[in-house]
Structure 1
Amino acid sequence: MGVPSRFAIEYPRRALDLIEMLEDRARGRDLLGSFGLLAASAVLTIPYERMKATHFLHDDARDGDLVAAFKRLEKTSFPEAEFWNGERIGPWWQSRVGGPIDHVDQWRDASGHHPMSVAAENSIGDHSAEAVIRVLRNALAHGNIIYLDKDARERADNQMVYMAFLTRYPDKEGEPETYRMVATKEEEFLRFVKLWATWISTIAADSAVVRAA
């Protein structure tokens, strides 16, 4: 394997090749959720960090296209982000949750409902793509991930259907501890990871076209 000229872009390309090689085996062994996390821990986290102009390995001449893409993520809502490539977004939830965070059944949003119930306020469309991805990145980095069954409950040995990602909401004096929660189905999460990696890996090609125009 050769040394990449642009790690943040070529690494996702290589990861996509690995995903294609291993996805069927993961499905066959009913490990799709874990496979998605395995892929996302690197495919999402590494490019996300390298897209920031503040990263210590950032080079203005080389990485300007990545920084520009990051700024677009900050200005575009998650459902309309360009990495979806025109595909319809699947089931996603975002909410600010409180209650004992280690007891899923006691999670409550600002309106007092369980954040994945029909009555809950789902704000996924109100947040930028960068804000949602930041929750995913933080949850992956700190292990704040919970597998949930078809009823969005954490019951051991039940079939996993949903994945919930948590990051602590900034503490304010006098307010109870709360978290940002992003959740989706395991199938949808892997689809997102693959679309994200495809988008990142094509940024350099898109930039070359722009420069040549």
Structure 2
Amino acid sequence: MGNPTHFSLEVPKRAHQLLRDLYEQLGDSEGTKLPLKATFLLSVSMPIVILPIERILKYKRNPNEVHMNDAVLNARLADAVDRAIDLEAKVHEAKFFMGPWQHATLEKGSGFPNLAADGLPEDIAQQLDSPDAVEDARNLSANRFCKILRNALAHGGVLYLDQHGRSRSGAPVRRFAFVSTNSPNNPTKLHFLRIKMADYRAFLQRWVDWLNEEAIEEILAEGLGLEAPEAEAEIIPEEAAKAVVE
């Protein structure tokens, strides 16, 4: 593959191909060998999620900014991204959504805790354990959901969690928590999105499929050489899902 013609479409597709081809080749912890599955999954997901938001949605909504504008390269895809990441519509209605995710918030009060030092607060973990947390995530606006995910990935707001969704040093990683403030200026709360690794991997599959499905007719018409998306629904067997660890 050479230089991408449509960076925010082709690079996520290439990143996802790396995930499909290499993920299962990474072993779990063995002697002095570092376990890398969670780190690889998280690293590969960054361009998959961030690029369409930064290089399509940003410029679709701010057309006067032009220095990295992929929105003009495929009007069909740009309209679809803008429409899907709706300011008000619930995220579970979006074509790219796949869960279950869990959502909770933490008011700032006298100050935010240092999550880097203390990990996920137990009271937040308990909120996320509630069935209401799944509904809260589903009912976030698509815009808010994508902002939380984008901000967490772009600014290092990610926590590695064990199978119970807690921060526990040395434990195999089974879940992620994505953390973002509600506003870049004078934030008043933190948003937490928690998900199992296997479910996050399935979400990334759906996200890339969505981009391909929305773009493919115009892409083919312009002769960019991408094949039509096939049904790639990657079913992770129960045994494999249990073994998805860092």
Return the TM-score normalized by structure 1: 0.79
Q: Which residue of 2 aligns with 1:131?
A: 144
Choose the corresponding residue for 1:192, options 159, 181, 203: 203
SS of the residue 1:19 aligns to: helix
- Structure 1's unaligned 5+ residue stretches are none
1:12 counterpart = 2:12: yes
CA deviation vs aligned residue, 1:55-89 (integer Å, no higher than 9, x gap): 533266523223312222233422232125xxxx4
Choose the corresponding residue for 2:214, options 198, 203, 206: 203
1:22 counterpart = 2:22: yes
SS of the residue 1:83 aligns to: coil
1:43 counterpart = 2:55: no
When structure 1 is superposed on structure 2, of 183-192 and 92-101 the one drifting more is 92-101
1:163 is displaced (CA, Å) by 0.5
1:97 counterpart = 2:109: no
CA deviation vs aligned residue, 1:119-161 (integer Å, no higher than 9, x gap): 7644112112332121111011111111111232211011222
| Residues 26 and 32 in structure 1, CA contact (< 8 A), matched pair in contact too | yes
| Residues 56 and 70 in structure 2, CA contact (< 8 A), matched pair in contact too | no
Q: Which amino acid aligns with 1:35?
A: F
Distance 2:160 2:36 in 1: 12
1:194 is displaced (CA, Å) by 2.1
Pairing of 1:9-88 with structure 2 (within 5 A): 9-26=9-26, 31-52=36-57, 53=60, 54=62, 56=66, 57-58=68-69, 61-75=72-86, 76-84=89-97
- Structure 2 vs 1, CA of residues 158 and 130 (structure 1 numbering), >3 Å: closer, same or farther? same
1:107 is displaced (CA, Å) by 4.1
Identity of aligned residues (%): 25
1:159 counterpart = 2:164: no
SS of the residue 2:85 aligns to: helix
Choose the corresponding residue for 1:169, options 164, 179, 182: 182
| Residues 147 and 160 in structure 1, CA contact (< 8 A), matched pair in contact too | yes
Q: Which amino acid aligns with 2:172?
A: Q
Q: Which amino acid aligns with 1:22?
A: L
Q: How many residues align?
A: 201
When structure 1 is superposed on structure 2, of 120-129 and 14-23 the one drifting more is 120-129
Distance 2:220 2:92 in 1: 26
Distance 1:95 1:77 in 2: 16
| Residues 180 and 191 in structure 2, CA contact (< 8 A), matched pair in contact too | yes
Q: Which amino acid aligns with 1:15?
A: A
- Structure 2 vs 1, CA of residues 5 and 129 (structure 1 numbering), >3 Å: closer, same or farther? same
| Residues 74 and 219 in structure 2, CA contact (< 8 A), matched pair in contact too | no
| Residues 84 and 94 in structure 2, CA contact (< 8 A), matched pair in contact too | yes
- Structure 2 vs 1, CA of residues 197 and 172 (structure 1 numbering), >3 Å: closer, same or farther? closer
When structure 1 is superposed on structure 2, of 148-157 and 48-57 the one drifting more is 48-57
- Structure 2's unaligned 5+ residue stretches are 30-34, 222-246
